């Protein structure tokens, strides 16, 4: 929420009015699918799988949450996703991502790395969603 509120402040500073409707993902997803969301601020973690095929098709390959419906982008994503040749994948995904960026279909704002540090003196459990539960940690 903090990042979204900061973005709204930046938009308002240049004369763009924005209203925050902070929703759980399922409710927001329904708004997107009903074409009732002009602009959304979302994250997609993919469990830190840094592969374009993990998230990009969800938003740009004519899935339910694809608001752009660009057939050229869909074709490039399909080409990259259906090949096992690394060079074919790189070329197709590079072209798709360039098109997405050039047309401002998506604007990546930041990358959120996950760092863990541990010592034998710390009681710490890692979770699959990669969110550290600091409140669960304690010293031995």
- What DSSP letter does each residue of 75-124 carry, written as one string? HHHHHHHT---HHHHHHHHHHHHHHHHHTTS--------------TTEE-
Q: Give the pLDDT band (50/70/90) at residue 112.
A: low
What pLDDT sits at residue 131? 75
> Domain range holding 5?
1-42
> 62, exposed or middle or buried, with CB in 10 Å at 0-12, 13-18, 19+?
middle
Question: What residues form DSSP beta bridges with 122?
Answer: 139
Q: Does residue 18 sit within a domain?
A: yes
| Closest of 62, 77, 75, 73 to residue 104, by C-alpha | 73
Q: Does residue 116 sit within a domain?
A: no
Q: Does residue 27 sit within a domain?
A: yes
Using the CB atoms, write b or e for 13-34: b if 16+ within 10 Å.
eeeeebeeeeeeeeebbeebee
Q: Does residue 49 sit within a domain?
A: no
Residue 116 has pLDDT above 80, yes or no: no
Q: Does residue 140 sit within a domain?
A: no
**Total number of domains constituting the chain:** 1
What pLDDT sits at residue 39? 85
Question: Residue 36 and residue 92: Cα distance in Å, rounded?
Answer: 31
Q: Does residue 16 sit within a domain?
A: yes
What tens digit of pLDDT does each residue of 26-51 get?
999 999 999 898 888 887 766 656 67
């Amino acid at each position: 929420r903090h990042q979204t509120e900061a973005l709204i402040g930046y938009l308002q500073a240049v004369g763009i009015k924005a209203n925050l409707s902070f929703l759980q993902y399922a409710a927001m997803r329904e708004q997107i699918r009903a074409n009732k969301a002009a602009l959304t601020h979302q994250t997609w973690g993919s469990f830190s799988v840094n592969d374009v095929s993990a998230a990009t098709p969800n938003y740009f390959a004519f899935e339910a949450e694809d608001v752009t419906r660009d057939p050229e982008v869909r074709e490039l994503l399909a080409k990259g996703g259906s090949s096992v040749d690394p060079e074919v994948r790189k070329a197709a995904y590079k072209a798709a991502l360039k098109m997405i960026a050039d047309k401002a279909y998506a604007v990546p704002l930041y990358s959120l790395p996950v760092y863990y540090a541990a010592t034998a003196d710390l009681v710490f459990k890692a979770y699959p969603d990669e969110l550290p539960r600091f409140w669960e940690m304690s010293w031995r």
